[in-house]
Amino acid sequence: MMTKEALTALILEKKAALSLTWEAIAAGMSLSPVFAVSACLGMNSLKEEPAQKLVTLLDLPAEAKTILMACPTKVWDKAIPTDPLIYRFYEVIGVYGPTIKSLIHEKFGDGIMSAIDFSMHIDKEENPAGDRVVVTMNGKFLPYKSW
Amino acid sequence: MMTKEALTALILEKKAALSLTWEAIAAGMSLSPVFAVSACLGMNSLKEEPAQKLVTLLDLPAEAKTILMACPTKVWDKAIPTDPLIYRFYEVIGVYGPTIKSLIHEKFGDGIMSAIDFSMHIDKEENPAGDRVVVTMNGKFLPYKSW
Amino acid sequence: MMTKEALTALILEKKAALSLTWEAIAAGMSLSPVFAVSACLGMNSLKEEPAQKLVTLLDLPAEAKTILMACPTKVWDKAIPTDPLIYRFYEVIGVYGPTIKSLIHEKFGDGIMSAIDFSMHIDKEENPAGDRVVVTMNGKFLPYKSW
Amino acid sequence: MMTKEALTALILEKKAALSLTWEAIAAGMSLSPVFAVSACLGMNSLKEEPAQKLVTLLDLPAEAKTILMACPTKVWDKAIPTDPLIYRFYEVIGVYGPTIKSLIHEKFGDGIMSAIDFSMHIDKEENPAGDRVVVTMNGKFLPYKSW
Amino acid sequence: MMTKEALTALILEKKAALSLTWEAIAAGMSLSPVFAVSACLGMNSLKEEPAQKLVTLLDLPAEAKTILMACPTKVWDKAIPTDPLIYRFYEVIGVYGPTIKSLIHEKFGDGIMSAIDFSMHIDKEENPAGDRVVVTMNGKFLPYKSW
Amino acid sequence: MMTKEALTALILEKKAALSLTWEAIAAGMSLSPVFAVSACLGMNSLKEEPAQKLVTLLDLPAEAKTILMACPTKVWDKAIPTDPLIYRFYEVIGVYGPTIKSLIHEKFGDGIMSAIDFSMHIDKEENPAGDRVVVTMNGKFLPYKSW
Amino acid sequence: MMTKEALTALILEKKAALSLTWEAIAAGMSLSPVFAVSACLGMNSLKEEPAQKLVTLLDLPAEAKTILMACPTKVWDKAIPTDPLIYRFYEVIGVYGPTIKSLIHEKFGDGIMSAIDFSMHIDKEENPAGDRVVVTMNGKFLPYKSW
Amino acid sequence: MMTKEALTALILEKKAALSLTWEAIAAGMSLSPVFAVSACLGMNSLKEEPAQKLVTLLDLPAEAKTILMACPTKVWDKAIPTDPLIYRFYEVIGVYGPTIKSLIHEKFGDGIMSAIDFSMHIDKEENPAGDRVVVTMNGKFLPYKSW
Amino acid sequence: MMTKEALTALILEKKAALSLTWEAIAAGMSLSPVFAVSACLGMNSLKEEPAQKLVTLLDLPAEAKTILMACPTKVWDKAIPTDPLIYRFYEVIGVYGPTIKSLIHEKFGDGIMSAIDFSMHIDKEENPAGDRVVVTMNGKFLPYKSW
Amino acid sequence: MMTKEALTALILEKKAALSLTWEAIAAGMSLSPVFAVSACLGMNSLKEEPAQKLVTLLDLPAEAKTILMACPTKVWDKAIPTDPLIYRFYEVIGVYGPTIKSLIHEKFGDGIMSAIDFSMHIDKEENPAGDRVVVTMNGKFLPYKSW
């Protein structure tokens, strides 16, 4: 059986061969781009319907559907990312982590933002002084409970 | 001269003594809460006007203004944060980093989102199934240039 | 203002001076022992009522109530614990982590066990061949959602 | 001779081909699911009888029995796990480790919970507010002895 | 599709076979040597024109153009470099980092030097007492903004 | 005897009290700013003349001269710097390290750039599109010798 | 209340003042030297009788008895020891670990040697070619159990 | 030429095929089991005679003798071992390291136990309460010398 | 083209096949043994003449000359070496590093010993009490310069 | 009782006050400079005679003799040294470690150079092209023994 890594490589090849954007692939799966890409990169599992749509859209082999639906083991190699684009987000968490913590506690009480009941969008804000990346994270607040 | 750390401790004490929220302190400084808190926690410098306003609002000693205006050395101890609230953001970067990278490159070309020409807001989205934390990051896209 | 660490030291001293067990302290706070101890050790915040009860029970200074109610920053020094009692639990996660993952996914689908909407109990099972420690963890299943 | 890793890959393939659950496989081996899965994933050795049962159930090659019975070298790659499901357990040990230590010492005296003379079960607790994962660990208390 | 690593290996082979220097290759791409080499080593992407020129110059296969134009994931293995030539630069950052920081802040205010809107040149300064390496970095100053 | 760290703190205080810039202090020591600052921050030793000049300029206690002239043990805490200004230089070494190595070897043969027989300057290049930081490093080429 | 560290420092002082050897102190506690020293260094707890004997022998303050009887948190700073004497033992585990594992499994089956139900002795073997250190470890074999 | 790793794999296969124990193999080499196993696992070199005996006993290819006699580079992957059996020994060094150091210095003066002029034995002590593992290390004391 | 690693493997094979010592190979290259071996192991580059001599002596393929003359990227895997022979040198640097630093500064002033303009020899000193290894390092003193 | 660290600080102060060189201090102790300095820096213990001589020479308090004679715990903070002078020696071990290993094995057989039965000298070799540091290490060869 193909691994998730092998399937990702195949998806990237098909995407290139068909000259499809991630936006188009996500639309074809009826999913938002962030979630669709994360599943294609092997970091999320798909429900049956979008899995089937992706298989059809990219003409993937039949077993791909099962692999796309399997629960992934989420692994990253670099505890501190080296790629500058990803590192900047790491830096933001380092610099603003305690600030985020203080403000969430002030607004919501003791608890955390879920990274599971969670969604993210990436948008482009056109700006004459230089376009801007807008990242929106939306996660359920999970209060600590005592027992 | 007081260190930034000592000043932060003093600010937290004054904040508690005056029963002020971060929202109120930020409003008193005419700044957004995220930036205001980050400066109070010693991770950003203030321009003279908000520094003076904070000194007045919290009745800080005179030298505080200079310290608030000084360029901080941004340091965090834990390469991988342990606090669950902050860790969840680290995890988001680990899980979605390559996805964010793919989508920014698709929308903007080769480059990164600036963590310097950058702003962030934290909002509360009321929801009967449980309120939600909404974090918005807005950073200038910086294209790689060749030379 | 006293730090959480200083308050923990004071609680330990009062506990010794009054010859109280953690069981008795937890009962006095109307909380389970695990949660009560974790709050006394500075790893969880208390609601007002149990905070007040603890202050009264141990005759703590007035400011202790506020400190007990504050949201803690959860920090541990050793990424890999050295104390043998704690290390054994780390080892269990290392050895059985993928097994736990496989079984939770089989029973619940893709998602995780919450460490926030979570409780834990520690019991003693008497056994002529040697008493046994029984640790029960109970966490809400949080399914991954697509968007 | 096949390595334990190769055998695990084969078991996963056979499991998928036969549409068997871990529960069913464990039942076929007359073992609890946690232990059965850990052996299939190469983290525990099997006695001859369950090894033979597994070979028969999944139609594994003859040499599989020997490999399943061999003492494994237990290795994990990530000192701090990245997969969110497994990380939450790591976090629980970080947050509650000193609490667990205090309570075991109070109930049992100086010593540890064995991770060898040990069993674990994973159960599903149905709950209208969201089903819950219940993990039960049961380990022999091993008192420190002086000499 | 070839990976960036495989393409780099091919470029190095072609470069040796054709006895070309990096200077000559960069000239052939109408780019400065530092940028040209970094793209050949897979650490920067090329615009279409220089990519085509390189393909022609080194007689690379057609797909090379696409690969050269793809946004690379920038990765380095050694957090602390071991090669003496590279380590000396790491050491310079360690020894002079706080000095550089103090002087940039004095000259420009709070902010950083961009590593993206950035160029670098390496020159040879002939000197009877031993030739000297001159490295010039030129990066846009990015001021921190408040919001 | 005062440590280098204590002396640095004193220098920073005197600098602030006298409203002197690093440029002015360096000029007063007849040294370039980078070297002068690095010595004030305890990362380089001074010859007697500039040490005496600094003592006079900042009205430091007599023992300061000896301390400024002592050979420092150069230490930095963070193998990977966290401060964004310093990190960007670390990133430049990570991204361009192999490029720098290739070009130095092409121009000079096998060897390294000395970080000891070395100087550095930091300049401001005014630019309507945003001022630029120019860092120039100049180090003696040291060829590997065989024996 | 004194910490274990402070008590250890006091014990070392008293030991020096009274010119007592560890052998003599252990004999006075009716314990073997290894266990007695480990308790004096804060790495093991004592039963009441030897604790009282040590307090009497070294004329320690009354509270020392409670501290000696408390369950210690066992911590070491260096994951890889630097002191040559201790490092050699670390090296022995690195070099011979898989050998020890193979032989214990051959002799006992799958399981481990307990580090809790464990004793150690250190002896001197006189030898004209140079005296020899003899370290004997004796730990209960704990078989893995299935469930 | 075969690597030491490949030879170890071959030895393990031959050992299984011939149903030989390590005890028997060691006896056939006229060596103690610990040393014999460590050489078979590639962590020690053999003299010609036992190398020849092993080649004959296991019917290894002729080049095996040379490889067994070659000086190995001793490498282990995990600075902190994960396998529970090996970890327990690591833990013993962590907990008792300073104790061992104190007692060796008391008995022998300043110096260390050699890990080179060293032998080790592993024995089984039968015990109705559970058999025990006895590990004996015997290393020459090496005194520090002044010069 | 062969990598340096592949060439090293080939050299070791040829060396064994021809029963040549490193001493003999070095003599054949008219180089000292330390430098010759380091080049054969891929850690230094050769000038054309010794490269040609080595190719002839070991009957290496023609491309070997180019590879031997290429500037190597010097990499080592273990920040702290595990092999006992190499570790002892690491330990010497750890134990005596500050001593070496103090004495070089006393004799030479502020600066370092070059590791580039550097040579090393390894000799055997016969001694009835056990032969001794004599390692001599000879490196140019590089004074820090101010600018 | 003073710690070794406190005594080292006192020795450095006395050395400065008396304007003594390390050479002179070593001569006064009838020891070589390397050993004498390492003992003054707390990394080696002294025999009674040189300890007494040092106490007299520097007019140290009486208890200093005992402290100088105590067996030190040898600790260094940086697994990879940052100070350039010390790092160069680390680099030498990284670059030449396998070379040293190959040559010692060729000359002596399987074994190591002792870092305990060991001496080191640091000399200055005058040279018109720049003086040179000569470091000589002399350690007993310790052969691996089988048993």
CB C145 to CB A117 under 8 A?
Answer: yes
> In a mutagenesis test of the F interface, which of E135, E136, E140, E141 is the best target, namely the one with the most F β-carbons within 10 Å?
E135
Cα–Cα dist G72/C7, whole Å = 20
Tell whether the model's pLDDT for residue C1 goes beyond 80: no
Q: Are strands I111-125 and A111-125 parallel, antiparallel or unpaired?
A: unpaired
Kindly list the residues from chain J whose CB atom is less than 8 angstroms away from the CB atom of residue H116: 111-112, 142-145
Please write down the HEC assignment for all residues of D67-122: HHHCCCCCCCCCCCCCCHHHHHHHHHHHHHHHHHHHHHHHHHCCEEEEEEEEEEEE
Over residues E85-113, the pLDDT tens digits come to 999 999 999 999 999 999 999 999 999 99
Active centre residues of B (catalytic): 88, 91, 114
Contact B31, B44 (CB under 8 A): no
**Tokens coding H15:** 């050992």
E93: nearest CA partner in chain J = J82
Over residues A95-147, the pLDDT tens digits come to 999 999 999 999 999 999 999 999 999 999 999 999 999 999 999 999 999 99
Q: From the candidates I23, I63, I88, I102, give the one annotated as an active-site residue.
A: I88
A44: nearest CA partner in chain B = B95
CB H43 to CB G95 under 8 A?
Answer: yes
Kindly list the residues from chain D whose CB atom is less than 8 angstroms away from the CB atom of residue G73: 98, 101
Domain spans, chain I = 4-69, 84-143
Cα–Cα dist C66/C46, whole Å = 9
Which residues of C make CB contacts under 8 Å with B?
Answer: 1, 66, 73-76, 79, 115-116
Residue H80 pLDDT: 98
Q: From the candidates D91, D102, D119, D132, give the one annotated as an active-site residue.
A: D91
Which residues of C make CB contacts under 8 Å with A?
Answer: 31-32, 34-35, 39, 44-47, 50, 71, 73, 98, 101, 105, 109-112, 114, 116-119, 142-147
Smallest Cα–Cα separation from B71: which of B98, B91, B51? B51
For residue B13, give the nearest of C1, C74, C116 by CB distance.
C1
Query: What is the distance in angstroms between the Cα of I70 and the nearest Cα belonging to chain H?
Result: 26
Over residues H73-112, the pLDDT tens digits come to 999 999 999 999 999 999 999 999 999 999 999 999 999 9
Kindly list the residues from chain F whose CB atom is less than 8 angstroms away from the CB atom of residue B116: 84
Residue B59 DSSP class? T
Smallest Cα–Cα separation from D79: which of B84, C100, A79, F80? A79
Cα–Cα dist H47/J147, whole Å = 11
Contact A111, A143 (CB under 8 A): yes
Tell whether the model's pLDDT for residue F1 goes beyond 90: no
**What end-to-end distance do the CA atoms of chain G give, in Å?**
45
Residue D123 pLDDT: 98
Query: What is the distance in angstroms between the Cα of E73 and the nearest Cα belonging to chain I?
Result: 21
Sign of the torsion formed by the C-alpha atoms of J77, J80, J84 and J89? positive
Smallest Cα–Cα separation from C120: which of D81, D96, B85? D96
Which residues of B make CB contacts under 8 Å with F?
Answer: 1, 66, 73-76, 79, 115-116
Alpha helices in J59-144 (DSSP H): 63-69, 84-108
Query: What is the distance in angstroms between the Cα of B133 and the nearest Cα belonging to chain A?
Result: 5
Which residues of F make CB contacts under 8 Å with B?
Answer: 12-13, 16, 78, 80, 82-84
Active centre residues of E (catalytic): 88, 91, 114
Kindly list the residues from chain G whose CB atom is less than 8 angstroms away from the CB atom of residue C12: 1
Tell whether the model's pLDDT for residue I95 goes beyond 90: yes
Catalytic residue check, J132 = no
D84: nearest CA partner in chain C = C112
Catalytic residue check, F91 = yes
CB C86 to CB D93 under 8 A?
Answer: yes
Residue J70 pLDDT: 97
CB J84 to CB F1 under 8 A?
Answer: no
For residue J107, give the nearest of I86, I124, I140 by CB distance.
I124
Of all helices (H) and strands (E), which one includes residue I122?
A: strand I111-125
Over residues F26-79, the pLDDT tens digits come to 999 999 999 999 999 999 999 999 999 999 999 999 999 999 999 999 999 999
Residue-averaged pLDDT of chain G: 97
Dihedral Cα F99, F102, F108, F112, nearest 10 deg: 70
> In a mutagenesis test of the G interface, which of D110, D114, D138, D140 is the best target, namely the one with the most G β-carbons within 10 Å?
D110
Cα–Cα dist A129/D14, whole Å = 59
Tell whether the model's pLDDT for residue F100 goes beyond 90: yes
Q: From the candidates F13, F23, F30, F88, give the one annotated as an active-site residue.
A: F88
Residue E50 pLDDT: 98
Name, in order, each residue with C-beta under 8 angstroms of J28's C-beta and a sequence gap of 6 or more: J53, J54, J57
A132-143, strands of its sheet edge to edge = A111-125, A132-143, B132-143, B111-125
Cα–Cα dist H111/H100, whole Å = 12
Catalytic residue check, J106 = no
For residue C137, give the nearest of D21, D84, D135 by CB distance.
D135
CB D76 to CB H83 under 8 A?
Answer: no
Percent of chain I past pLDDT 70, that is, above it, reads 100
Tell whether the model's pLDDT for residue G1 goes beyond 90: no
Smallest Cα–Cα separation from I30: which of I63, I57, I11? I57
Smallest Cα–Cα separation from D132: which of C16, F35, C111, J104? C111
Residue J1 pLDDT: 76
Under-70 pLDDT residues of chain J: none
Q: Number of G:I CB contacts under 8 A?
A: 12
- List subunits contacting chain H, requiring 3 or more Cβ pairs under 8 Å: C, D, G, I, J
Tell whether the model's pLDDT for residue H1 goes beyond 90: no
Q: Number of B:E CB contacts under 8 A?
A: 66
- The CA-based diameter of chain D, rounded to the nearest angstrom, is 56
CB E81 to CB F91 under 8 A?
Answer: no
CB A113 to CB B133 under 8 A?
Answer: yes
Distance of CA G49 to the CA centre of its chain: 18
Kindly list the residues from chain G whose CB atom is less than 8 angstroms away from the CB atom of residue J74: 82-84
Tell whether the model's pLDDT for residue B7 goes beyond 90: yes
Fold of the domain built from segment(s) C4-69: 434 Repressor (Amino-terminal Domain) (1.10.260)
Residue C143 pLDDT: 98
CB H75 to CB I84 under 8 A?
Answer: no
For residue C74, give the nearest of B12, B16, B83 by CB distance.
B83
The upper half-sphere exposure of residue F36, i.e. CA atoms within 13 Å in the direction of its Cβ, equals: 23
Smallest Cα–Cα separation from E111: which of A128, F135, F132? F132
Alpha helices in G32-79 (DSSP H): 33-40, 48-58, 63-69
Residue E1 pLDDT: 76
Tell whether the model's pLDDT for residue A65 goes beyond 80: yes
For residue J75, give the nearest of G12, G16, G83 by CB distance.
G83
Kindly list the residues from chain I whose CB atom is less than 8 angstroms away from the CB atom of residue F108: none
- List subunits contacting chain J, requiring 3 or more Cβ pairs under 8 Å: E, F, G, H, I
Over residues I47-79, the pLDDT tens digits come to 999 999 999 999 999 999 999 999 999 999 999
Residue D1 pLDDT: 76
- List subunits contacting chain C, requiring 3 or more Cβ pairs under 8 Å: A, B, D, G, H
CB G91 to CB I94 under 8 A?
Answer: no
Kindly list the residues from chain I whose CB atom is less than 8 angstroms away from the CB atom of residue J136: 134-137
Contact A42, A7 (CB under 8 A): yes
Q: pLDDT truncated to tens, each residue of chain D (147 aa)?
A: 789 999 999 999 999 999 999 999 999 999 999 999 999 999 999 999 999 999 999 999 999 999 999 999 999 999 999 999 999 999 999 999 999 999 999 999 999 999 999 999 999 999 999 999 999 999 999 999 999
- List subunits contacting chain E, requiring 3 or more Cβ pairs under 8 Å: A, B, F, I, J
Tell whether the model's pLDDT for residue G113 goes beyond 80: yes
> In a mutagenesis test of the E interface, which of A21, A85, A91, A99 is the best target, namely the one with the most E β-carbons within 10 Å?
A85
**What band does E66 get if pLDDT is binned at 50, 70 and 90?**
very high
For residue C1, give the nearest of B16, B83, B84 by CB distance.
B16
F105: nearest CA partner in chain E = E85
Q: Are strands I132-143 and J132-143 parallel, antiparallel or unpaired?
A: antiparallel
Contact H24, H53 (CB under 8 A): no
The listed CATH number (3.40.50.720, 3.30.1160.10, 3.40.50.2000, 3.30.40.230) that belongs to domain C84-143: 3.30.1160.10
